[in-house]
Chains A and B, each alone.
Chain A
Amino acid sequence: GAGVSQSPSNKVTEKGKDVELRCDPISGHTALYWYRQSLGQGLEFLIYFQGNSAPDKSGLPSDRFSAERTGGSVSTLTIQRTQQEDSAVYLCASSPRGDWTGELFFGEGSRLTVL
């Protein structure tokens, strides 16, 4: 499809395990974002990639969280040594522009459950 694709859609893991969440943005979109949404809550900004610029990592909650974007396209969010409080829906979004005028197009999210 032409939208933002995220995988896996659901992930159940044990506390202490590492997980990787993948995001495939819309082709040609230069900006890519990761957000976290806990049940019934708002979207918490995690990290933002824009073109070849250094990513804005100001929202990452701890050093257990990291993300990379390869070739300006696919992005992977990695959570090391998962904790129960990491359980949430992780949303990826992309935008055709990195400036303040462009809307974000969201994927359907990856639901992470840490047991």
Chain B
Amino acid sequence: AQKITQTQPGMFVQEKEAVTLDCTYDTSDPSYGLFWYKQPSSGEMIFLIYQGSYDQQNATEGRYSLNFQKARKSANLVISASQLGDSAMYFCAMREGGGNTGKLIFGQGTTLQVKP
């Protein structure tokens, strides 16, 4: 069964510094996608970045990059040059292919606070 684990309930980072949010996953399916979402205090879910299991390079989207280590089954999110507006809850999620196509499972989330 698919499983997503985020072991950091809360993180602090100084403004303008980089921060890494950890995510590990477990699946026996060779085809899967990994996603990161941001949820600010307003409650909306904002898609940040996607990494496919067959992608050769780590995904990047502006200040967000995904450190994908397939053998270790980890998909850590790196936020560079943190901004006050990055303070939010961050969720890692996974969708499997194969017989369980489409179901997206979320981790428990990491609350990030950016300090001025």
Contacts and interface: CB of A to CB of B under 8 A. Distances in A.
Contact of B91 (A31, A42, A100): A42
B52 A104 contact: no
A89 B42 CA distance: 12
Interface stretch (A19-27, A62-70, A105-113): A105-113
Interface residues of B, number: 25
B101 A100 contact: yes
Contacts of A85: none
A101 B45 contact: no
A56 B93 CA distance: 18
A104 B106 CA distance: 12
A59 to B, nearest CB: 8
A35 B45 CA distance: 12
B102 A103 contact: no
B108 interface: yes
A108 B44 contact: yes
A115 B31 CA distance: 44
A101 B32 CA distance: 7
B43 A89 contact: yes
Given A100-B97, A103-B35, A103-B50, A45 B103 contact: yes
B101 A42 contact: no
Contacts of A33: 104
Interface string A30-42: 0101010000011
Interface centre among B45, B91, B95 (most CB of A within 10 A): B45
A101 B91 contact: no
Interface of A: 31, 33, 35, 41-43, 45, 48, 50, 56, 58, 89, 91, 93, 95, 98-106, 108-109
